Structure 1
Amino acid sequence: MIISNTYAEGKNIDYSKFFDRFYREDKSHNNKKSGFGIGLSMARDLVHTFKGKIKVEYHGDMISFIISLKTLK
């Protein structure tokens, strides 16, 4: 599964931090700034619970989250 969205500010960012709980790119942690909350952290934990993988890629102002789950047999 791939979920993508535009993200013009996405160049030269450490995307691994996106999966940290309450990570905010802004060091001040100002509540008026938008952040990443716990959504991606929860998604990562859920995907790992089902022995899957989640990763993020950035190409041409588009950010994509790629989720791979093992199929049940």
Structure 2
Amino acid sequence: MLVAVVKAIATQSPALKDPDKGLVPDVINFREISVHVAKAVIKQSIEEGLAAEKDIPEKDEDLEEWIREQM
């Protein structure tokens, strides 16, 4: 799960778009970053057979919307 979190945060790194920017996303984008992190953790928990919630959406767009509704 920890690896999934780190990878999710890494994909949101501002340095990917501009090498002069920081490695970690700004706290101002916390809610959107949280959606990406939650999606990664949920997908990993499903893959490992640890997800307890039923009817978790499979498609990324649907999963992101579902996560936002839970927030």
Give the TM-score normalised by structure 2: 0.35
State the structure with bigger RCO (CA 8 A, min sep 6), 1 or 2.
Answer: 1
Higher strand share: 1
Give the TM-score normalised by structure 1: 0.34
